[in-house]
Structure 1
């Protein structure tokens, strides 16, 4: 190869690498998440009392779920919380509270159980009269069976706390 062709080859390689790097940098700035913020016309939100369709048999969990959602939205302060007639409405129902054994190998003794809580949520835009989303949020927790009812109750509360956080995140950023 001649000195001239080597020089041209190197310059071509530098140009191609520069072009590729430029395309990558430009393309990396072109992504978009599905949402990002609350629509600007929504200023207030009303949270209805959570219904319980789980047939779990302990109505206290609907009250706990309602209070956890209210606390999350009040602490976040993205939308002003109102008792009724909000620009947005949040309706929710506990659809399932179920526990199941953790998979065991033959000869093992069951030491913990898995608890799954599901909450169906509708986020409604009352200004435009349309549902923004209807989604089921689920959380799984494990609890030791040695502490039976106390540990199960704590697992349910922890699952509802996680779900309340997930609901808030979905409402304020639509992830």
Structure 2
């Protein structure tokens, strides 16, 4: 039985390493020949602006790629390119208090338009241009929670973008 387990492990390893795509346990699959990535600055063009959102989002996407892939980040030509803009930053009521016109619960929503280019893919099938939206609900004033809410939403957005680019989700 122990011999069978050892053979099964070897076969599984060979199957994974024999493919032209590198698999990782973080959920991504990055082509073997992809070595570099360039994440451009994401300008905030939303009507409502949070001062540090552009910088925080751009750095959050870089950090996600750095922590979940083997890609080297470069400023010039790269095998993969992320660029885009922050198009939405909205605070809307999510639930209204009974017998009042005040919001009992609010929602902070951030939308980012992303263009991903895989310069190694001659067919262009893995390239995309897509908007990603995430939100968090909160009670009370936004000022007291805005930084934390932004951090949580950026984490969700960068996960969605990473998965779309490298896991085809």
**Same fold by TM-score greater than 0.5:** yes
State the distance in 1 between where 2:33 and 2:146 align: 41
From 6, 28, 48, the counterpart of 1:56:
48
Q: Check the 8 A contact 1:144/1:151 in 2, yes or no.
A: no
**What's the TM-score once normalised by structure 1's chain length?**
0.70
More helix by share: 1
Pick which of 125-134 and 38-47 moved more.
125-134
* Matched residue SS, 1:118: strand
Tell me how large the CA RMSD over aligned residues is. Answer: 2.1
State the distance in 2 between where 1:58 and 1:148 align: 11
**What's the TM-score once normalised by structure 2's chain length?**
0.73
Q: Check the 8 A contact 1:99/1:116 in 2, yes or no.
A: yes
From 66, 85, 90, the counterpart of 2:58:
66
State the distance in 1 between where 2:163 and 2:40 align: 18
More strand by share: 2
| 1:138 alignment counterpart | 133
Deviation at 1:150, TM superposition (A): 2.2
Q: Check the 8 A contact 1:115/1:155 in 2, yes or no.
A: yes
From 111, 118, 131, the counterpart of 1:118:
111
Deviation at 1:101, TM superposition (A): 0.7
Number of residues of Structure 1 aligned to a counterpart in Structure 2: 139
Larger radius of gyration: 1
Q: Which runs of 5 or more residues in structure 2 are unaligned?
A: 1-27
- 1:59-85 CA-to-partner distances (Å, cap 9, x unmatched) read 310000011001100001242222221
Q: Which runs of 5 or more residues in structure 1 are unaligned?
A: 1-35
